[in-house]
Structures are given as C-alpha cells and as structure tokens.
Structure 1
Amino acid sequence: MTTPPLSCNGILAVVVVYKTQPADCLSMITLMASIANLPAGSPPVSVIVADNTPNGQQIKQLPNLVRYTAYEGNPGLARPYNDALLQAELGGFGWLLTLDQDTSLPGTFLRDMLGAARTYQGDSTVAAIVPRIVDGQRVISPFRYVGGFLPIVYSTNKSGLVGPHASALNSASLLRVSALRELGGYDESFPLHNSDTRLYQQLNEAGKRIAVAAHVVVPHELSILDRENRMSPERYRRMLEDECEFWDSHMGMLGRMERLVRLVGRYCKGILSGEQVMFQRVTLEELRRRLLTRRTNRIRRHLSNLAQIGQSLLPPKQ
C-alpha cells in the first residue's frame, strides 16, 4: 500500500531562553528576520518562546505571531519541546523547529528548510531535516556514531539522506510532528543535556531517517568547546553527570569506555593548556566517580535526582 504524500503544513518554532529577554536573544532576532524573508504564499510559521528563567522575568513586547510561556522551575529542554509538540499537533503544523537562544539563523534559513521539507514530504520515514552547524570554522553537527558509540562529524559535502546512527544538535533541527509523536516526544529522563542525542537514538531505533541540508549553514556556539568562557563550573559538572547517565543507560560498554578515554584526554589537555583549576577539578572528580562508583548506583542516583526535580517544578504560566 502506498503512503499518501504528507503536506508540509508549515512550521511551529520553539525557542527556549534562559535569563535572556526573548526579543534580544540571537535565535529570536535571526528567526524573525528569516520569517520576514519568506516569499508570499509560503506555508505558515508560528513561534513559541519557552522562558526557563528561574522565577520568571518581565518581558518586552513580542510580535503577534509569538506565544510566550514561562517555565519558572527551569525544566530544561525536553519538557518545553514536548509542550510545543502538542501545540504543533493542535495547530495542524507538519514540522517542529527546535531552537535554543544562541543560534544565528541565516536569512534564508526558513525558505531553504521549507524547500527541504517539501522534498521529503512524501516519505514518512524521514523524521528530521538538519542543517550543517558550525562553531567558528569547526563543523559540529550533524554526525554519526560509528559502531553505535564513536561520534564522527559528517563531511561538509555530505547531503541528503544519511545512514543509521545519525545524530544532530537540538538547535535548528526540523522535526516531523507525526514522527516525533510516534516516539512519544522527547525522553524527559534527559531533560537538558543529551536530550538531542537520546531523540536521534530513538528515531534510529524506530527506523526513521535523517536528511542533511548541507547547503544550510548555521553558526552556533557549543559551550563545551570553550567551557571557561561559556560555562560555569557547576554547569560543566551537571553536563558531565548527565552525559554519564546517558551513556550508562543507552550506549553500551564500548560507549562508556570511549567517554572515559575522552574525559582522561580532556583532563590532560586542561593541565597542558593551563585551564582554570576549578574546571580541572570538576573533570577529575567526574573521572573518579565513573571509576569508583558502580554503574547501577550511578543510574539509581540519576533516577532519584529526576524524581526530586519533578517535584520541584512549577507549572508553566501563559
């Protein structure tokens, strides 16, 4: 039986911000410019701002097409993305565009991504369309896990449908709403770090495919590449703990070994480069934890932390 073509039906974009005015964040500024550059007759594009600022903030006026939601308990990314998924379904949108606050979209981003969506609209196995994301001159997404555990970035000329174990960053991913719903949405066991890794892993397990729009190049600052200037030591600690829990639960023994070797290399590089002592200390503490604490105990602690976080979260305010 032939699957009927799926309509593009437009895009619902969700931008997650943290301690930043929505109207002033880079993703919102460039997203609105990209919307303004759409030709007449383009499918509709609407925007949701999910504000994770603790205890909320007074916001500046936003355009009429933007809906604002405050998450004063700061639940991370997975929950706001899942809430936006529901709104996309209710609004009849075919695609969900996920963004954080630090992504600079080119002026033709939406035009190009809508074009790609039309290309793949008849193939329901294509669940995601992703651009090429760069931090400076370095390509950071998309990539694949060779053997299911070793991340290798795709070459700059890799375009179109890619093979199994493909993955990408959350920001600037265009996700088919129906495919995301088949998975049950984002896995909220990983609310922030590795929420994207887990999503693309689930898509792969479900037999879905990813298309790379290599001609769409999106600048994005990846915090871990310059952690001293882009992260606090506490956020770095949380990122390492979340990474460990994901690899403990979903990436197998070879994956855990690869992460351990990577962490050792990062610690040695930090010493040689004169990295701030507080970051070296966090790396060393995490190394000790992974070596001296049983995997089952690490997973148990992760589940306990999730339960505590869930009890502390406040409902969003519209």
Structure 2
Amino acid sequence: MAVNILCVVVLYKMQLNRSASFLSLYRQVGDCDATVDFFIYDNSPLADVGLSEFPDIHYFHCPGNTGLGAAYNAAARYAEEKGFDWVLLLDQDTVLPDNFLQSYVKAIQENPGSQVFAPRVSLSGKSLLSPMKRWRKQATHLVAEKTYPIRQYLVINSGLCVKTSLFMQSGGYDEKVWLDFADMQFIRKLLHVGVRCFYLLSCECMQHFSNLETDPEKLKQRFDIYIACARNCEYYDMADWIFRQYCVLSHTIGLTIRTRSVYFLKCFFTRYLF
C-alpha cells in the first residue's frame, strides 16, 4: 500500500534549521518508502529568513501566534487539498529516533484498520510522558505495536499521526485552546466521532517539557497560559469534566507547594473558577 504523509512542524521563536524534530525527520525522508512533504507553521514574531536550504517545504508565517490548534488545522486543510492521506503532527523540539518515519510507514501499511498512530514519548530524565493512563500513575511503558483504547489514555500532540479524512471529520483542534489541553480536547473529539483505539509504535521520542522550569517568574507566566486554555476547554461528557478539574487542581497545588507561592491558587480561584 502506497503511503503519503504530510509532516507538520510548529515553530515559535526558533529557526527551522535549529529545530530538532524537523532536522531529524528531514534526514529520514529518503530512507522510507513513502511520499513525504513538510508543512511548517511559524508562530514567531519574525519570519525565518534561512529557508533557502529547504526549498521543498511549504512554509507559513503567522506573526500573531495563533497557537498549536490553528497550525494543525491549517496543515490538515492543506493535506486535504493536496491529497495527503496522513497528517503527522510535531512540535519544534521533540528529539526523534533514526527509525521514526519508517516506523510510521510500516505501521500504516501493516494496520490498514487503524486511523490514529502515536509513538512512546519520554522526558529527558527518562520519566514517561505519553501515552499515560488517565487516572493512575503508570510506571512502565506500554507494550508497543499494539492498539489501546483511546478513552483510557492521554496521548500528546507531538508524534500523533492521524488519517486526514478523520481529522477533518472530527472538526480538528479547538483553536480557543491554543496550547495546554489542545491534545486532550482533540483526542476527545476523535472519541466522539467513533474512534476507539490508537496504535502504539515501537519508536521512542524524547520531549522537552516546560514543567521542568525552575524560575518562579517563568512558571507564573506559563501558568497564566495554562489557566486561560483550561478555562476555554469544552467538556464532552461528565468523565471529561471531572478529569479536567482534577488535572487543573493537582497542577495548581503542585506549583504552589513547589514555589511556596500563593500566586497559583489565586489564579485558580479568580481566573478559572470564577
């Protein structure tokens, strides 16, 4: 089965030639049995002027920084227009293994019934990030090359590969939730249009995570975005609502204890609850 994939990389204040995810993926194109193209959505204030070394990409500059959702939606529309069957979503700084792209091609060819694929993702300290159980801590990675119920697991944006037709059917990302919770909202949308499982690939990626930040002022700025996105979330059922409240409250308490600052609790009550 012929495979064609549109790879989407979202940039923010980073030149394309410094993006770990793009560079590692770009080098792999010639080693996989698929038609691959790149859609670069740049949310940086200034456009990247060093694109001449990558003449075969589609580049879109959005200085207003409309967030991840708008970027992924724009890419999906482009994929539909150009006839790409698959959209592979990435951020700028996920470190990808050498066999990353070929593992998707192989999995798509061998699992024609699957429409959603995801890699295993760890943080730089080797702790697990995705997929993760929704309600209880998970100590070890799931067994790869199997399908898992999408209702029970959290899967992050970076590395998510979705059938283009399914992406469009779901309505895509909620652009009001421009960063935090964007992946959760999208996965719930997939669930509510009938998707029951995702296929877990054997490849493993490494992800930078903003929660590793230690500067209290930067943590406060980041939390402002977190709360704004959380407030804009829609709830598709009661279980979704309960889980969202649990996530926001536990994150708020964790940052309060970690920084010994009441700033986060104040934001929780004044900007989220009321």
Give the aligned partner of residue 26 of structure 2.
Answer: 32
- Kindly state the Cα deviation for residue 107 of structure 1 after the two structures are TM-superposed: 1.2
* Structure 2: gaps spanning 5 or more residues: none
- Distance in 1 of aligned mates of 2:243 and 2:234: 10
Give the aligned partner of residue 161 of structure 1.
Answer: 147
Give the aligned partner of residue 266 of structure 2.
Answer: 285
* Cα distance change on mapping 1:152 and 1:230 into 2, 3 Å: farther
* Cα distance change on mapping 1:247 and 1:227 into 2, 3 Å: farther
Tell me which amino acid in the other structure corresponds to 1:54: P
Are residue 131 (structure 1) and residue 131 (structure 2) matched? no
Give the aligned partner of residue 7 of structure 2.
Answer: 13
- Distance in 1 of aligned mates of 2:159 and 2:216: 23
Give the aligned partner of residue 307 of structure 1.
Answer: none
Tell me which amino acid in the other structure corresponds to 1:85: A
Tell me which amino acid in the other structure corresponds to 2:183: D
Q: Tell me, what secondary structure is at the counterpart of 2:149? A: coil
CA contact (8 A) 2:188 2:236 kept: no
Tell me which amino acid in the other structure corresponds to 1:163: P
* Cα distance change on mapping 1:235 and 1:265 into 2, 3 Å: closer
CA contact (8 A) 1:98 1:172 kept: yes
Question: In the TM superposition, what whole-angstrom CA distance separates every residue of 1:91-123 from its partner, at most 9, and x where no partner exists?
Answer: 2211101111111111110011111111222x1
- Distance in 2 of aligned mates of 1:151 and 1:94: 35
Question: In the TM superposition, what whole-angstrom CA distance separates every residue of 1:184-215 from its partner, at most 9, and x where no partner exists?
Answer: 222223122211110111112222121111x2
Q: Tell me, what secondary structure is at the counterpart of 2:17? A: helix
Give the aligned partner of residue 114 of structure 1.
Answer: 105
Give the aligned partner of residue 215 of structure 2.
Answer: 228
Give the aligned partner of residue 16 of structure 2.
Answer: 22
* Cα distance change on mapping 1:167 and 1:207 into 2, 3 Å: farther
* Cα distance change on mapping 1:153 and 1:199 into 2, 3 Å: farther
Matches within 5 A, 1:110-259: 110-121=101-112, 123=113, 126-136=114-124, 137-145=126-134, 150=135, 152-153=137-138, 155-159=140-144, 160-165=146-151, 166-208=153-195, 209-213=197-201, 215-226=202-213, 228=215, 231=218, 233-246=220-233, 251-253=240-242, 255-257=244-246, 259=248
- Kindly state the Cα deviation for residue 254 of structure 1 after the two structures are TM-superposed: 5.5
CA contact (8 A) 1:237 1:282 kept: no
- Distance in 2 of aligned mates of 1:37 and 1:231: 40
Larger radius of gyration: 1
- Distance in 2 of aligned mates of 1:283 and 1:154: 28
- Kindly state the Cα deviation for residue 258 of structure 1 after the two structures are TM-superposed: 5.1
- Kindly state the Cα deviation for residue 84 of structure 1 after the two structures are TM-superposed: 0.8
Give the aligned partner of residue 84 of structure 1.
Answer: 75
* Cα distance change on mapping 1:82 and 1:255 into 2, 3 Å: closer
CA contact (8 A) 2:177 2:229 kept: yes
CA contact (8 A) 1:49 1:66 kept: yes
Q: Tell me, what secondary structure is at the counterpart of 2:233? A: helix
- Distance in 2 of aligned mates of 1:140 and 1:257: 18
Give the aligned partner of residue 299 of structure 1.
Answer: none
TM-score between both structures, scaled by the size of structure 1: 0.76
Give the aligned partner of residue 268 of structure 1.
Answer: 257
CA contact (8 A) 2:16 2:48 kept: no
Higher mean displacement: 258-267 or 173-182: 258-267
Give me the identity figure in percent: 23
- Distance in 2 of aligned mates of 1:70 and 1:243: 26
Over the residues paired in the alignment, what is the CA RMSD in angstroms? 2.5
- Distance in 2 of aligned mates of 1:61 and 1:82: 26
